[in-house]
């Protein structure tokens, strides 16, 4: 008991020191001039969430005021807690301007001059997925750390904002006023606003999705965790009945969260053998697993989405096509609350199967409600990526002026 209390006291003391250091580094960069053009690094690791940073990166590639670079790090295996020996070709092929750095080659990490960058983006706010020299605190020591939420927030929960990451963010971009205000109060700065709500690239992408609905192709997107604290997965409840469901002339594709299989096996929800059996049953039933890296490619060929609580729900909702939502009892963010009246809610298999049969027949009574919500609340998100680039450029010009004065 005493040992546990001592460890907790040490943890709190370390956090206080880290927080003080983060504030000091941020103050230092408030008076440090930037280059011309502004050199921006994008540290990328997960192709599945590239659609958030991609539009910002591509705008900068076409803007003479910016010099964007891709810094590619390898995937992290949550089961073995190790990194792969090399990076995939996905991000190499995504590079538009030839400016690319691979952070690891044949298992050896490469030196990266972070101080040579004016701003650096990280994809996700979880330091455990990054090597020591690319964790948020180390980046904040050397340059200005930027962050766009890799997935929009659906649940109001403090644990989604780990201090060891967010205290190091120089410029952060959220999608909700309440969340933005909370972060600005928690991580205040003396001279500049650190967090902004200018929409979100995921919503911008959602508004560009194919809106034609044939009420035929169905996508199931089960959540990765069974932990009620972060939103439960209904995978175990609906896997067998959906496998045996008669889709008629329709089709079913499954796109589990990228962490789902590994997390379920790690937590003992299933074994490797049970996973193999499920995949075999799907294959026999003509059910496909989604092969696309980008969920946008999948959404463009999807008519109906079945999903647990997830950031994919509001993004697909913006296509105007129907969503069957498997509810989770929680405090929703403002954005998710807005779309709830336009979702079909299934609290059990009977409700899910009835909603699915109805939509596959072409009957869609919530269609007009979805379009009303879409037109009233979401069209403002059309230029989120441009707004993020503008905020970074505005910040860079302020630093140029301060640099001349110091």
CATH of the domain at 68: 3.40.50
By the 8 A CB rule, do 148 and 52 touch?
yes
- 242 and 353 share a domain? yes
Does 6 fall in a domain? no
As a whole number, the mean pLDDT across the chain is 89
> Tens digit of pLDDT for each residue in 49-83?
999 999 999 999 999 999 999 999 999 887 788 89
Residue 292 falls inside a structural domain:
yes
Peptide bond into 37 cis (omega under 30): yes
Q: In the predicted model, is pLDDT for residue 383 greater than 60?
A: yes
Provide the pLDDT for residue 18: 54
Q: Are residues 198 and 312 in the same domain?
A: no
Average pLDDT (229-244) is: 92
**In this model, does residue 137 exceed pLDDT 60?**
yes
Q: What is the CATH number of the domain that holds 342?
A: 3.40.50.12580
More confident residue, 300 or 31: 300
Q: Do 393 and 303 have their domain in common? A: no
Domain count for the chain: 2
Residue 223 pLDDT > 60: yes
Statement: residue 12 has pLDDT above 70: no
Is 288 among the domain residues? yes
Full residue range of the structural domain in which residue 345 is found: 206-381
Q: Residue 26's pLDDT is what?
A: 82
Q: For residue 198, give the DSSP letter.
A: -
Neighbouring C-alpha atoms within 13 Å toward the C-beta of 357:
8
Domain assignment of residue 4, yes or no: no
Joined together, the tokens standing for residue 177 give: 């006023």
Q: Tell whether the model's pLDDT for residue 361 goes beyond 70.
A: yes
Q: Please, what is the Cα angle at 363 between 361 and 368, to 5 degrees?
A: 150
Confidence of residue 302 (pLDDT cuts 50, 70, 90): very high
Same domain assignment for residues 131 and 86: yes
pLDDT of residue 10: 46
pLDDT at 3: 58
Helices (H), 102-174: 136-142, 163-166
Residues 242 and 160 in one domain: no
Are residues 215 and 336 located together in one domain of the fold?
yes
For residues 193 and 235, membership in a common domain is answered with no
**Averaged pLDDT, 269-292:** 96
Is 152 found in the same domain as 285?
no
Model confidence, pTM:
0.86
Mean pLDDT of 345-358: 98
Residues 163-214: pLDDT tens digits? 899 999 999 999 888 889 989 999 988 778 899 999 899 999 999 999 999 9
Note whether 223 and 177 are same-domain residues: no
- 385-to-51, 56, 198 alpha-carbon distances in Å: 11, 5, 8
How many CA atoms, within 13 angstroms, populate the side-chain half-sphere of residue 385?
19
Kindly state the DSSP code that residue 340 receives in the 8-state scheme. Answer: G
Which has more confidence, 12 or 373? 373
pLDDT confidence band for 318 (50 / 70 / 90): very high
Asked if residue 2 is part of any domain, the answer here is no
């Amino acid at each position: 008991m005493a040992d546990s209390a001592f460890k907790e006291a040490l943890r709190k003391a370390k956090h206080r020191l880290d927080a003080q250091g983060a504030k000091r580094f941020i103050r230092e960069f408030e008076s440090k001039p930037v280059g011309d053009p502004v050199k921006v690094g994008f540290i990328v690791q997960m192709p599945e969430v590239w659609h958030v940073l991609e539009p910002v990166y591509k705008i900068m590639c076409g803007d003479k005021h910016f010099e964007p670079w891709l810094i590619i790090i390898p995937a992290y295996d949550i089961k073995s807690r190790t990194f792969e020996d090399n990076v995939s070709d996905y991000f190499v092929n995504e590079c538009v301007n030839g400016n690319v750095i691979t952070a690891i080659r044949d298992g050896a990490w490469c030196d990266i001059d972070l101080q040579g960058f004016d701003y650096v983006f990280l994809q996700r706010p979880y330091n455990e997925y990054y090597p020591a020299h690319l964790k948020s605190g180390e980046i904040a020591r050397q340059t200005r750390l930027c962050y766009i939420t890799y997935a929009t927030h659906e649940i109001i929960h403090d644990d989604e904002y780990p201090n060891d990451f967010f205290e190091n963010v120089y410029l952060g971009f959220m999608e909700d006023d309440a969340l933005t205000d909370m972060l600005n109060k928690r991580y205040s700065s003396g001279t500049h606003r650190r967090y902004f709500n200018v929409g979100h690239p995921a919503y911008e992408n959602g508004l560009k999705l194919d809106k034609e609905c044939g009420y035929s192709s169905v996508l199931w997107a089960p959540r990765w965790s069974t932990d009620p604290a972060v939103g439960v997965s209904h995978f175990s409840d609906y896997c067998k009945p959906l496998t045996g469901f008669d889709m008629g002339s329709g089709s079913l594709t499954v796109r589990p969260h990228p962490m789902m299989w590994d997390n379920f096996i790690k937590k003992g929800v299933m074994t490797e053998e049970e996973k193999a059996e499920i995949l075999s049953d799907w294959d026999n039933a003509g059910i496909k697993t989604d092969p696309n890296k980008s969920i946008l490619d999948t959404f463009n060929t999807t008519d109906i989405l079945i999903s647990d609580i997830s950031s994919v729900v509001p993004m697909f909702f913006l296509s105007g096509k129907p969503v069957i939502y498997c509810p989770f009892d929680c405090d929703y963010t403002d954005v998710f609350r807005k779309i709830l009246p336009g979702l079909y809610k299934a609290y059990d298999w009977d409700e899910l199967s009835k909603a699915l049969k109805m939509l596959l027949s072409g009957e869609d009574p919530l269609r007009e409600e979805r379009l009303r919500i879409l037109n009233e609340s979401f069209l403002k998100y059309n230029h989120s990526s441009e707004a993020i680039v503008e905020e970074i450029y505005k910040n860079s010009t302020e630093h140029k002026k301060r640099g001349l004065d110091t």
